[in-house]
Amino acid sequence: MSMALIETVNITQKYGKQDIIKNISLKVDQGEVLALIGPTGAGKTTLLRLLDLLETPASGRIYFDGMEVTAGKHLRLQARRRMSFVLQKPVVFNMSVSDNIACGLKWRKEKEATVSQRVNSALELVGMTGYANRNARTLSGGETQLVAIARALAIAPEVLFLDEPTANLDPVSTARIEEVLAHIIGEQKTTVVMATHDMSQGQRLAGRIGVIINGELLQTGSPNDIFSTPQNTRVAELVGIGNILGGVIASRDNELVGIDVGGSIIQAISEHGIGAEVHALIRPEDVTLALHKDASSARNTFEGSITRIFPVGALVRVELACGFPLLTVVTRRSARDLNLAVGNRVYATFKATAVHVLKRWN
């Protein structure tokens, strides 16, 4: 058994009769950055609280650096003093910014000189040197988050837990916090476990992603694995694969299969045999729209009529009926160029390699 820094074995947590965490076994290696993604209420925060030893699991074991920390109050305090946690809605103590940052150090009985030196470098790290003597309660949301991060980093934790570090923050503060996090991940090699519902943030910062839905850890893997080859439809939905089409493999030619989706045949790459019931997953951004059928290398071209158009930020989402419902996204500019309107007929094209095929279990 390789020595992971943190390991959980079948941990569960219940609040009353409600199962919040269901049998999660997870390993986090030294220096690793793991992002937990999942919808709100999936159990991400509870899992972080269990890992940070703020809560004890209803069952299962947690190991930190080889020690079982599920039992024993003293051992838990010892282990906890090697970690720190930035809550989703961080609170600051009613004292100055620098006193806030010094708290964890004073509780560890660090020398006065060490405390002031570490406080200063933590303030510098988050770019808030000028705020040292301000009362922390007077700070804005973004500033409070930065102070909370500095306070968590001042103790030089071996593991940093972050719960939605940029939720409810403006884009400028978000960018600044991600910059700080990228720095500590890159320079200080701190092990980081963060919960986020922002997929792209997970992709930017983490080396590995764990997907939690409804208290279960459904899949862990590299960001690329999670986003391109989700292992089930719930993960697929979460990572924004807009098209999840049920069908049956009808034909096979080497790796290339034809999937019968309600009468239309979608060509894809799969190892499943003829007759296998599958889901064809297609990312909306992998589908292109055209007014005329053109000869491209893409294997799948379907004619359909537009049923719905709605703008999303800089993009436009277009829903088609082409034998099956198909969701695509185009830029505002191409929507204008193609003169897209509800009822218009267009051609949708995507490559066989853009289709991710998942075996259906239910």
Partner 1 sequence: MTELWEALVTAVKLIIAFDPEVMQIAGRSLAISATSSVIAALICLPLGAVIHFNRFPGKRTLINIIQTLFSLPTVAVGLFVFVLFSSAGPLGGFGIMFSPAVMVVGQVVLITPLMLGLIISALSATDKAITDTAVSLGASGFQMSVITFREARFGVLAGLIMGFGRAISEVGLSLMVGGNIRGFTRTITTAISLETSKGDLELALALGMILIFVALVINIGLNRIQQR
Helix or strand holding residue 99 (H, E)? helix 97-107
Nearest partner of 90 among 22, 131, 42, 151, judged by Cα: 151
Question: What's the per-residue H, E or C state across 29-66?
Answer: CCCCEEEEECCCCCCHHHHHHHHCCCCCCCEEEEEECC
Instruction: Provide φ and ψ at 15, rounded to 5°.
Output: -110, 105
Closer Cβ to partner 1, 58 or 250, answer by number:
58
Q: How far apart are CA 99 and CA 106, in angstroms?
A: 10
Distance, in Å, from the CA atom of 359 to the CA atom of 228, rounded to the nearest integer, reads 15
Assess 108 for contact with partner 1 (CB under 8 A).
Answer: yes
CA distances from 47 to 10, 164, 358 (A): 12, 13, 28
Place of tokens 């589908």: 287
Tell me which residues in 146-175 interact with partner 1 (CB under 8 A): 148, 151-152, 155, 161
Q: Of the listed pieces 101-109, 116-124, 205-213, 266-274, which binds partner 1 according to CB under 8 A?
A: 101-109
Query: Measured from the CB atom, is 52 or 286 closer to partner 1?
Result: 52
Show the site string, 65-94: x = touches partner 1 by CB under 8 A, - = not: ------------x--xx-xxx-x-xxx-xx
Q: How far is the CB of 74 from partner 1 (least distance, A)?
A: 10
Binding map of partner 1 across residues 34-53, x = CB under 8 A, - = no contact: ------------------x-
**Considering the complex, what minimum distance in angstroms separates the CB of residue 259 from partner 1?**
49
- How many whole angstroms separate alpha carbon 136 and alpha carbon 357? 52
- The CB-of-163 to partner 1 minimum distance in angstroms stands at 10
Complex with partner 1: residue 84 or 328, whichever CB lies closer: 84
Residues 290-329 close enough to bind partner 1 by CB under 8 A:
none
Instruction: Using CB under 8 A, count the residues that bind partner 1.
Output: 24
Closer residue to partner 1, CB minimum distance, 48 or 320: 48
Q: Give all strands (DSSP E) within 108-156, no chain letters.
A: none
Please state the closest distance from residue 91 (CB atom) to partner 1, in A. 4
Distance separating alpha carbons of residues 55 and 198, to the nearest angstrom? 25
How far apart are alpha carbons 294 and 292 in whole angstroms? 6
**Binding region for partner 1 (CB under 8 A) out of 15-23, 102-110, 120-128, 252-260:** 102-110
Rounded to a whole number of angstroms, the minimum distance from the CB of residue 40 to partner 1 is 18
- Residue ranges with strand state E in 165-263: 191-196, 208-213, 216-221, 243-253, 256-261
Cβ closer to partner 1: 7 or 52? 52
We find the least distance from the C-beta atom of residue 169 to partner 1, in angstroms, to be: 17
Strands, E assignment, 79-155: 83-86
User: What is the smallest separation between the CB atom of 156 and partner 1, expressed in angstroms?
Assistant: 11
Distance CA 41, CA 38 (A): 8
Q: How far is the CB of 88 from partner 1 (least distance, A)?
A: 9
CA distance 291 to 305: 11
Residues near partner 1, by CB under 8 A: 52, 54, 77, 80-81, 83-85, 87, 89-91, 93-95, 103-104, 107-108, 148, 151-152, 155, 161
